[in-house]
Structure 1
Amino acid sequence: MNETAIKILVAGPSGAGKTTLIQTLSQSPVVNTDVRSSTGNRLTTVAMDFGQLRLDQYAIHLFGAPGQERFDFTWEILLDGSLGLLLLVSGKDATHFPQARRIYDYLLSRNPIPLVLGVTHQDHPNCWDCKEVASYLDLDPAAAVPIDATKLESATELLVRLFELVERA
């Protein structure tokens, strides 16, 4: 049986939940390049994360891009060959929205692929909801999904939504 590989890019600002999402979805050990952030209080990705899962005859390869601007040179490399984009944005911190917009503009200006916006940290008080974040990014609210990157069901829903868009494209 032939196996078809599908590359999905997971991008977004630092702290949005990209590494966590890939760890939740991956059926194999996740390769990551996390180091202590300059503030020293959390880990941050400096090159990429990689995880994979299998669905029927498909091998889905998840590539996580670093969110910090100083690593933006990796974004185009990771985008190459991607069938879809999962853009994660934390709804608890609007100061990250301009960076999300920059990432979105950068990636889709180079390769207009199907996109689903995952809004994380929805359990925090005064969190921006999906429609508000989509509006800020000038995206169709139907492309926005609330997500808990730590829960397999929620992470899978995000991936399914992306595949629905890929199928229509």
Structure 2
Amino acid sequence: MEIMRLIVTGSVGAGKSTFIRSVSEIEVVDTDAAATDETALLKERTTVAFDFGRLQFGPDMALHLYGTPGQSRFDFMWDILIRKAHAYILLVAAHRPREFRQARKIRNFMQERVQVPMIIGLTHTDCIGAWSEEDVFLALGYVDENERPPIVKVNPMEGDSVAEAVIALVQHLMQSCAA
């Protein structure tokens, strides 16, 4: 059986755990714990190791989804999870520009370790103060339009929206492999 490993990463509160829960065919394995740092200002619980979900595509193909913690103090998990990844999606909460620096740090961390396809998943685009795609690209350091990865708007609470983002990621992976 072929297994594709996709990583769902991003800053705290971008929607990583919810993303995986919305699309997984199995009960998600998570490592949520009570938030004890500044994360507690955003939410009560947070991922401290990883989330795991699965999608089965027939008897010969499965997609494993791994969600990373958002805090830098858990970057050792980022390192472990990205090493065997086929591709990843960087979730960015469009309405929290103060988190863009952390999203950029995570992206840089991943790119230093592996060269795998990635896309940006823009969450919370319907919130007051949400930045446009163009402004998010610039905040993440993508000045050259030719160097930008695909970007998709995604609502982590809606299974159909998450499925579309996963399809976009897999399509980008397949295009990268064909190139």
Under TM normalisation by the shorter chain, which class is it?
A: over 0.9
- Gaps of at least 5 residues in structure 2 are none
Match of residue 146, structure 1, among 140, 149, 153? 153
Check whether the contact 1:12–1:67 (CA below 8 A) recurs between aligned residues.
yes
Check whether the contact 1:149–1:155 (CA below 8 A) recurs between aligned residues.
yes
| 1:11 matched residue in structure 2 | 9
Q: Superposition pairs for residues 79-158 of structure 1, below 5 Å?
A: 79-139=82-142, 143-158=150-165
Could you tell me how far 1:91 is from its partner in structure 2? Answer: 0.7
- Report the RMSD for the aligned CA atoms in angstroms: 1.4
CA distance in 1 between counterparts of 2:151 and 2:21 reads 21
| 1:168 matched residue in structure 2 | 175
Q: SS of 2:48's equivalent?
A: strand
| 1:36 matched residue in structure 2 | 34
Q: Which runs of 4+ in 1 moved over 6 A?
A: none
Q: Deviations over 1:108-151 (max 9, x none)?
A: 11101100100111121121122221221134556111110011
Worse-matched range after superposition: 119-128 or 132-141: 132-141
Paired residues in the alignment total 167
Check whether the contact 1:117–1:134 (CA below 8 A) recurs between aligned residues.
no
Check whether the contact 2:120–2:150 (CA below 8 A) recurs between aligned residues.
yes
Worse-matched range after superposition: 138-147 or 86-95: 138-147
Identity %: 34
- Gaps of at least 5 residues in structure 1 are none
CA distance in 2 between counterparts of 1:58 and 1:128 reads 37
Could you tell me how far 1:69 is from its partner in structure 2? Answer: 0.8
Match of residue 78, structure 1, among 81, 91, 103? 81
